[in-house]
Structure 1
Amino acid sequence: MIYKFIGAFGLLLISLGVITKKRKKQNLYYIVGGVLLEIYSISIGDLIFMILQVIFIAAAVSDYVKR
């Protein structure tokens, strides 16, 4: 049950990142939200979702470091 809340909070953070104007803050929301969704995807055992989340997090970290 706790993992559903973790996943929902992760999705909320990513959604907040979409509407945030400041790029650094946006990427932080993406990174934290992505990690929370990764935890959720591990808890449900969805391999495709796990891989996609790792790629999403890596892209957000890369963009954060560049700026």
Structure 2
Amino acid sequence: MSFILNDHQQLSLFDSLTFLSERKQKMLESSWAHQFSQEIFVNINEMLFAPLYSSSTNSRPNAPINVIVGA
């Protein structure tokens, strides 16, 4: 697998959060998941894991490291 940095900061146009009701959005913002996302997930340094992957661009891209570590 080749290493590709995950650009996780931007939401997609079809992100499921935009379709939540205002009540459910507030519930999500007050949950542990929101804190985890804001404090831990975004601070996982993926570059620390880059040497574990192939430098060849012909190989399959990696799964996002912050998703794997944060799971």
Higher relative contact order (CA 8 A, sep 6+): 2
- TM-score norm. by structure 1 comes to 0.32
* Structure showing greater Rg: 2
